[in-house]
Amino acid sequence: MGGNRVLVTGGGGFIGRHLVKLLLSKGRMVTVLDDLSTGQIIDGDPNVRFIVGDVADPVFRSEALEDCSALIHLAAIASVPRCEGDPSLSERVNQRAAINLFDEAAKAGVVAMVHASTSALYGMPEFLPISESHPIAPIGVYGLDKQAAESAIIGRVDVGACALRLFNVYGIGQPIDSPYSGVLTIFSERLRNQESLTVFGDGSQTRDFVHISDVVQAFAMVLESLEQEGTESPVHAKALNVCSGQTRTLLETIEAFGDVIGISPIVRFNPPREGDILHSSGTSEALMDALGWSAQMNFTDGLRSLVS
């Protein structure tokens, strides 16, 4: 292993903040590059160097890469509807910035890099559960830009590199006041305020919800393997699912929330969201085989932690 400093782009965001905390607990020094568009600053920790800046700007990328031996790239427009509404922003941040960052990181001496990819790359599933051999057929701007970034990282031959295809990540720490937050965060907040829930479509759509604590463990394990074994790592040049296999329909999640809180939620139905995938359910056997990772959080316990 080279140095001790990890660059976490998007480290002020939902996944980023949990990941930075985990890396610090392992004795790592962390640089964060984040423009605070949806994230928040981390201050007061001497082991965190927080740079407020745009990852699409080469000057900030160069400053952020100083002294870093590893990279975890999370900075992105993570909201599917926001990308559909502003395709040029998505292309600039989710695609071009990522591709440039990977090249510059390798030139700067980074020995291991991990990218936050997405299950949205699979598009409308042809079979379930979705394994990595499923065809790639993104249906929207978000998925297409993420696919281009993913191809750039898993094609690297010079440094240990891996992409993690995250399914629907949930847990505390997602902004509660944003219309772009994940559905479980929105539901838990509305229930806390005794408000009705809005379901887009008939609520029969399924999602594979994976808890944030499991997701950040996956990033840390993959990073360590790449740092130790480089291009010989079993995860090098791979794009791997990070999911729980605990798939629920939206109506089932509402019922589970009701059980956990002890109320009967009021539900309103709106037309389906444009570009919405109907069913999503994954298998993470490949990451299990490579590094022994599997999701540990039980769904009901995860919901309980969200509303507590």
Per CB under 6 A, residues contacting ligand NAD are: 10, 12-16, 33-39, 54-56, 74-78, 93, 116, 118, 166, 168-169, 182
Query: Helix H segments across 108-160?
Result: 141-154
Residue 116: which H helix or E strand, with range? strand 112-118
Residue 248: which H helix or E strand, with range? strand 247-249
DSSP line for 118-175: EGGGG-S-SSSSB-TTSPP---SHHHHHHHHHHHHHHT-SSSEEEEEEE-EEESTTS-
For the record, the structure tokens of 167 come out as 């399914």
Q: Which one of the spans 24-32, 42-50, 113-121, 217-225 is the region binding ligand UD1 (CB under 6 A)?
A: 113-121
Neighbouring C-alpha atoms within 13 Å toward the C-beta of 261: 21
Taking CB within 5 to 8 Å according to partner kind, which of ligand NAD, ligand UD1, none is near residue 176?
A: none
Main-chain dihedrals φ then ψ at residue 115, nearest 5 degrees: -120, 140
Site mask, ligand UD1, residues 206-235, x = CB under 6 A? -x----------------------------
For the record, the structure tokens of 45 come out as 């920790």
Helix (H, G, I), strand (E, B) or coil at 117: strand
Q: Which one of the spans 47-55, 94-102, 174-182, 290-298 is the region binding ligand UD1 (CB under 6 A)?
A: 174-182
Nearer to ligand UD1, 108 or 139 (CB): 139
Contact call for residue 306 and ligand UD1 (CB under 6 A): no
Taking CB within 5 to 8 Å according to partner kind, which of ligand NAD, ligand UD1, none is near residue 178?
A: none
For the record, the structure tokens of 22 come out as 């985990």
Contact call for residue 276 and ligand UD1 (CB under 6 A): yes
Contact call for residue 199 and ligand UD1 (CB under 6 A): yes
Residues present in the chain in total: 308
- A 10 A CB-CB count for 15 gives 24
Contact call for residue 15 and ligand UD1 (CB under 6 A): no
Nearer to ligand UD1, 44 or 271 (CB): 271
Contact call for residue 180 and ligand UD1 (CB under 6 A): yes
Q: Which residue in this structure is represented by tokens 């790449």?
A: 226
Nearest distance from residue 214's CB to ligand NAD, in Å? Answer: 12
Nearest distance from residue 282's CB to ligand UD1, in Å? Answer: 9
From CA 245, how far away is CA 294, in angstroms rounded?
A: 10
Binding residues for ligand UD1 (CB under 6 A):
78-80, 118-120, 167-168, 180-183, 186, 198-200, 205, 207, 250, 273, 276, 280
